Amino acid sequence: MDMGLIVAAVGAGALALAFALYKGLWIKKQDPGDRALQDIGAAVREGAMAFLAREYKVLSVFVLIAAAVLVALNKPELRLVGVSFLIGAICSALAGFFGMRVATLANMRTANRAREGLNPALHVAFSGGSVMGLCVVGLGLLGLSALFLVYSGLWGGDLPTVSTRVLPVLSGFSLGASSIALFARVGGGIYTKAADVGADLVGKVEAGIPEDDPRNPATVADNVGDNVGDVAGMGADLFESYVGAIIGTMVLGAVAAQSMPLVLLPLAVAGAGIFVSVVGTFFVRTREGGNPQMALNMGTMGAGALLAALAWPIVHRIAPMEFFIGDAPYTATGVYYAVVAGLGGGILIGLFTEFHTAEGRKPVVAIAEASTTGAATNIIAGLGVGMMSTVLPILTLASAIIASHHFAGIYGVAIAALGMLATTGIQLAVDAYGPIADNAGGLAQMAKMDPEVRKRTDKLDAVGNTTAAIGKGFAIGSAALTALALFAAFEQSAGITEIDVTKSKVMAGVLIGAMMPFFFSALAIGAVGRAAHTMIDEVRRQFREIPGILDGTGRPDYARCVDISTKAAIREMILPGVIAIATPILVGYFGRLEMLGGLLCGVLVSGVLVALFMANSGGAWDNAKKYIEGGHFGGKGSDAHKAAVIGDTVGDPFKDTAGPSINILIKLMCIVSLVIAPMLI
Amino acid sequence: MDMGLIVAAVGAGALALAFALYKGLWIKKQDPGDRALQDIGAAVREGAMAFLAREYKVLSVFVLIAAAVLVALNKPELRLVGVSFLIGAICSALAGFFGMRVATLANMRTANRAREGLNPALHVAFSGGSVMGLCVVGLGLLGLSALFLVYSGLWGGDLPTVSTRVLPVLSGFSLGASSIALFARVGGGIYTKAADVGADLVGKVEAGIPEDDPRNPATVADNVGDNVGDVAGMGADLFESYVGAIIGTMVLGAVAAQSMPLVLLPLAVAGAGIFVSVVGTFFVRTREGGNPQMALNMGTMGAGALLAALAWPIVHRIAPMEFFIGDAPYTATGVYYAVVAGLGGGILIGLFTEFHTAEGRKPVVAIAEASTTGAATNIIAGLGVGMMSTVLPILTLASAIIASHHFAGIYGVAIAALGMLATTGIQLAVDAYGPIADNAGGLAQMAKMDPEVRKRTDKLDAVGNTTAAIGKGFAIGSAALTALALFAAFEQSAGITEIDVTKSKVMAGVLIGAMMPFFFSALAIGAVGRAAHTMIDEVRRQFREIPGILDGTGRPDYARCVDISTKAAIREMILPGVIAIATPILVGYFGRLEMLGGLLCGVLVSGVLVALFMANSGGAWDNAKKYIEGGHFGGKGSDAHKAAVIGDTVGDPFKDTAGPSINILIKLMCIVSLVIAPMLI
């Protein structure tokens, strides 16, 4: 075993964290602005950190019980899986904690720097996002490679030990990450949309005050929601994908390809990805008056191109010239092509997502036009766009699967997922930049700063909407490939040679699996509805009972709204979470391994489709509204605009709660199965 | 081979047709009412028959070309598949033709008899529906068994000949039925919703005139639409399922179980189903003031119970005491239990559908309540109900599959589908009764009859809404089992021993297959949008240009609107139709049999889910609106009502166009694969 390689991976993880620390300290040094801005920023920050504290408190109980169960039920030699689980959960939680801490420092500083111009504001917001991105990849790779080093030091680094002991125990790390991700995504999604819908429906629609108006009691909760949903939630989601793709590839390298270098290769590719992500952050520069979108694209595209170049020597250096999976021979060059297929697939899916959801493109304009005949036609058009938007990403995914399998067998499919995810550091930086810019605008408005500031942050935010949509497409595509890698690792670990849908039990499993995303979405949507309802009642109550609230002389009780969102999110995340974890265990226990395989196939396939449908219709509705607000089809206040607002509201729980939660669902069900596989054989 | 059995099946088919003729003549003898009613009834009738004529003209070109292709590309001994295809298409078209002819006679007579009371009106409407139901099962069984008689007479009735020649050629009958069904469902669905949305948005919303008002130019087209969509479209859908389930079971009896009695058993069970359906029609009786829903339930439940009793001696008489599939032994009693599992599963799915969509039940009341906070919450609640409504039917389906496979192997799954579909005669009668009653109300309104008449037909129509929702659930559930039977038959015919989703090509096939229902729905929804747009423009034009149209002195140009719907429906049905047929051919050709198997698995699983989601959310929105109109949450004209109308409009293309079309899509792709399998091996 090449120890130097693992140490290099540990080093790459540490590099990411060091760079994140440097960026974080730089942000902290920036001027946080005047008193009003600092006050309101502190309220958002406290709300966000309070939510995280409460969430982690509930989760720590769950995590400790789950770890105990994993220790108790496993064979003696695999009991440390509980420890991996714990460390994975802690790493994911820490990434969320650091990312959000810095994001809530960056938001007010972005607003403050926006007084000077677009470029300094972009710089702060993107730096804030890059802390989140680098914490995720840093903690993910550092945790995994350090644990790998420890376990193989304890038990031995030979291939049989690695495949039967080290990797099964290590996969607990991924399960820990998934568990946190599930609750962070579902809870965060419910939080942000309950606050958003509550703030909009009573504030904007009933009381007629603008968005982010300080008179609205739910407005702080709304801004907190952007952080817990779009920063911490997204971070936990990608942390899970990132870790899952690495583990899945390692397992397949050991069990399918039976090659120690192929077990280590994913660590090296991930390390290279961290390096190019750090370099990529330096490409994000724009002149005053320049296009921030171009700057961000430079960062991700530059990092992608760099990785494609760097992967060639790395793969050829580490991977064996020729290796076998079963009887089929594959080559190092084939592995390289698989990495590139994943990388390219990820970029393509992002571009297709952009086409279907960006302002001014045909699908969004069509929805805007349909708004002129009312809300019904707006909704129908949006649902149609969402459904149509699944076609090209699915064809891309199918092609990436076939191509990467052609080049390097099932190992190729897994490393394609990693190829897509290796640049997560910068991808997530671009993604988390959006909610920071959005928050900066909210703070500027609430702190009554110069309207010019809000205009600049709006310009940054508009770009953020597109990057958010692309980020969602990227998250879904990578979740699908990661789930596929974990699915293949599960089959290999469980010793399943086929999952044959001509068998009725497998088909029943596929049907039940395919139903899960619908069930899960219905639960998530219902939860948002209930939470929003409580919020609406509270905002109405405050408008009624607090004197002078609407003319600005009375102070709304922000904390109460933050508290309602927090409680609702934590209460409502339990049931879907338990269902997602319990279903594969129950099906595995009663239906055995093959039916469980069917279940995973079903949830994977239907999950990708439902997630794409929901994320893209939600994104398209959002931008159709923005397009009308930009002065088309009657502009703001027209009937078309009212219809578009309804579509946007429908899209909110779609794109920010149910859709993203499904990413987690499919990965989680696969990783649960992978971890319990040794108990089911 | 037991010739007596086949002759009995021919006889049962003839019995159904004779009974349909008797019922049809009885309806014709009823008094069609006064001049005004006859005039408006004639307009609807002419519109409906004109659409059918135009549709069949286009289809005849397609059918002839497809038949020629089938003849040209097949091995010489299988060329008659083209003839079976032609006859299947003709039988399906004839069933639609007869059913709609009688439905458009029955609608005005229902309105006329409604002057006397509820009971005589129910009697006429249900008789009209039963003609459709019995024509479908009669032509289906008669055509299949007569062709079987001819082919086995030509080539021999021994098992090897039957499995390698007679059944492959006979399966063309099912393909012919599917092709007509596809265009009838898609075209009919587009027709009815374009007219409906056009009539509602301009007439009800813009001009403020009530539904079915004779001043609305699109109102005749709207009533024509009920017939072409809900009568002819639904009939073609169930014709396809019915025929597909019989053929699929026959193929599995020959190829999997290798037992001639098991090849003939489905014909006998179908014959028994016709007998109990005819008997069941006599159970549909209600006293004046009685509950029509109870009467209809008596009919279907009575027929179901009778079939469960009758199937015991039939199965034990015909099926071998013991038979083998592979090495697994099964018994005649096991086959009986499989039939009952299908029958029971169908009833359960109907009940679950009823729960999620019926007025006054919890889900619908929740949507109605959500309407009080506006259209957005109404839409979100409806989408949530639709998603949640997939859970129980899917668990039922999965259980039915596992149980029937446990009892009689893959043959059991197929005959379970037939158990569900054997009572199609009466199921469809109950289903087609709805649009006839709906039409009767429309005619009464347009002919300015006594408001008491409309009240009575409304009562019948309200029941019709529930039966329609149950019928849709039944259609989806039976389509799923039928597709599964055809899927299994395809595997057996193609000699595929496994469709292993651990293989990347199969997984890619599953992904693409699962995407098809989304793609197809997006096309169907887009088509409705475009067609409705043209209709809206036309109705607005008539209101503007025809003098006195709104005060009742000018006569609207009904024919023009009928023409627009007809043209749009025929134009828009082509692309989805071609895609549905071409996809399995392309995937089969380029991806070979296994990827094709994956494709079918994907389209089947995702199709059932999307169809349930769409049909049930559509039904629930519709009844939430009705519930509010019944005086809850502010009643008619309230803001909640306005929100509920938007939900209902969104639901229209869901439940009446896209959703039902998916039933056809999944069956059609399976039957196309079954027919082309011999060419791909």
Between A510, A526, A649, which is nearest B605 by CB?
A510
Instruction: List the single best residue of A404, A510, A641 to mutate versus B (max B Cβ within 10 A).
Output: A510
Measured CA to CA, the distance from residue B104 to residue B101 in angstroms comes to: 5
Contact call for A376 and B646, based on CB within 8 A:
yes
% chain A with pLDDT above 70 = 100
Structure tokens at A285: 């520069």
Between B375, B605, B650, which is nearest A514 by CB?
B605
Number of CB pairs, chain A paired with chain B, less than 8 A apart: 219
Check CB contact of B642 with chain A, cutoff 8 Å.
Answer: no
- A 10 A CB-CB count for A282 gives 10
Verdict on whether the full-model pTM lies above 0.90: yes
Query: DSSP class of residue A325?
Result: E
Cα B280 off chain centre by:
20
Measured CA to CA, the distance from residue B245 to residue A284 in angstroms comes to: 61
Contact call for A609 and B605, based on CB within 8 A:
no
Contact call for B502 and A498, based on CB within 8 A:
yes
Contact call for A380 and B653, based on CB within 8 A:
yes
Q: How far is CA A490 from CA A167, A368, A594, in A?
A: 12, 45, 11
Interval A536-555: pLDDT, tens: 888 888 888 888 888 878 88
Concatenate the DSSP letters of all residues of A65-113 into one string: HHHHHHHHHS-GGGTTHHHHHHHHHHHHHHHHHHHHHHHHHHHHHHHHH
Structure tokens at A65: 């019980």
For B372-414, give the secondary structure using H, E and C.
Answer: HHCHHHHHHHHHHHHHHCCHHHHHHHHHHHHHHHHHHHHHHHH
A28 pLDDT tier (thresholds 50, 70, 90): very high
CB contacts under 8 A, A 410-469 vs B, are: 410, 413
Residues from chain A that touch B362, judged by Cβ atoms under 8 A, are none
- Domain ranges for chain B, please list them: 3-495
Contact call for B381 and A529, based on CB within 8 A:
yes
Structure tokens at B401: 């599959």
Within 8 A by CB and 6+ apart from B498, the residues are: A498, A500, A502
Within 8 A by CB and 6+ apart from A455, the residues are: none
CA of B225, closest CA in chain A: separation in Å?
20
Within 8 A by CB and 6+ apart from B555, the residues are: B546, B549
Hey, what's the torsion of the CAs at B58, B64, B66, B69, to 10 degrees? -150
- Three-class DSSP category at B323: strand
| B671 closest CA partner among B66, B263, B62, B96 | B66
The CA angle B71-B75-B80, to the nearest 5 degrees, is 45
Within 8 A by CB and 6+ apart from A274, the residues are: A12, A13, A15, A16, A134, A137, A138, A141, A425
Residue numbers in chain B where pLDDT is lower than 50? none
Check CB contact of A608 with chain B, cutoff 8 Å.
Answer: yes
Instruction: List the single best residue of A369, A497, A501 to mutate versus B (max B Cβ within 10 A).
Output: A501
Between A401, A525, A649, which is nearest B508 by CB?
A401
Within 8 A by CB and 6+ apart from B468, the residues are: B230, B431, B434, B435, B619
Q: What is the ipTM of this complex?
A: 0.92
Query: By the 8 A CB rule, do A603 and A514 touch?
Result: yes
Using CA coordinates, name the residue in chain B closest to A491: B502
Check CB contact of A484 with chain B, cutoff 8 Å.
Answer: yes
Contact call for B529 and A370, based on CB within 8 A:
yes
CA of A616, closest CA in chain B: separation in Å?
13
Q: How far is CA A123 from CA A295, A444, A493, A616, in A?
A: 10, 17, 46, 28
> Mean pLDDT of all residues in chain A?
89
Check CB contact of A374 with chain B, cutoff 8 Å.
Answer: yes
CA of A22, closest CA in chain B: separation in Å?
43
| Across A115-129, A519-533, B164-178, B457-471, least confident range | B457-471
Query: By the 8 A CB rule, do B567 and B466 touch?
Result: no
H and E: helices and strands count for chain A: 20, 2
- Three-class DSSP category at B322: strand
Query: DSSP class of residue A430?
Result: H
Please give the residue that has the higher pLDDT: either A319 or A207.
Answer: A319
By DSSP bridging, strand B328-331 and strand B322-325 are antiparallel
pLDDT of residue A1: 63
* A393 sits in which H/E element: helix A391-421
* A419: pLDDT strictly greater than 90: yes
CA of A65, closest CA in chain B: separation in Å?
29
Measured CA to CA, the distance from residue B533 to residue B527 in angstroms comes to: 10
- A 10 A CB-CB count for B497 gives 11
Exposed, middle or buried: residue A576 (CB in 10 Å: 0-12, 13-18, 19+)?
buried
pLDDT of residue A224: 86
